[in-house]
Amino acid sequence: MIRKAVLDDVKSIHSLLQIYASKGELLGRPLSKLYEDLRDFWIFEDPETKKLVGCCALQFCWEDLAEIRSLAVHPDYTGKGIGTALTDRAIQEAVYFKIKDLFTLTYRTGFFKRFDFDVVDKNLLPLKIWADCITCVNFPNCDETAMMKKL
């Protein structure tokens, strides 16, 4: 079941993101930032166990630009359409808010190509989005791929 995240979800979101951050497959986020950005998150809760098994955030960057970020599904639940459902929900929300350009920085380009995202040069993204990059362990040698979808 997909729902908006609540305060009680923050530690579970953090733990889920850390699984992939520890493998270098996703950029981790500190707890303080997750609390600040909680309203950006959708989560997928296993209907039987009520365990948080997936998350995805839609972050607004400018009047017509938003980012899909922190998309993660617990390894025990991959391949069940959870990442697809969360991405669909984030795209629907972007459409609702009349976003024109939706982007992501990812290591999984094949996944996002299924949603009609195209690889773009990172220099096409406004400087404002790079504020989080300053604290990244990979800065300034970002190895994520920028992808954009026109809505």
pLDDT per residue over 108-145, tens digit each? 999 999 999 999 987 777 655 555 555 555 555 567 88
pLDDT in tens, 24-56: 888 788 899 999 999 999 999 999 999 999 999
**What's the CATH number where 92 sits?**
3.40.630.30
Q: How many domains does the chain have?
A: 1
| pTM of the predicted structure, to 2 decimals | 0.90
Q: Phi and psi of 139, rounded to 5°?
A: -70, 135
63 pLDDT higher than 90: no
Q: How high is the pLDDT of residue 28?
A: 80
What is the torsion angle, in degrees rounded to the nearest 10, for the CA atoms of residue 91, residue 92, residue 94 and residue 100? Answer: 80
Q: How high is the pLDDT of residue 40?
A: 97
Full domain range(s) for residue 56: 2-150
Specify the residue for token string 């069940």. Answer: 80
* Element of type H or E holding 44: strand 41-45
Q: Phi and psi of 140, rounded to 5°?
A: -95, 15
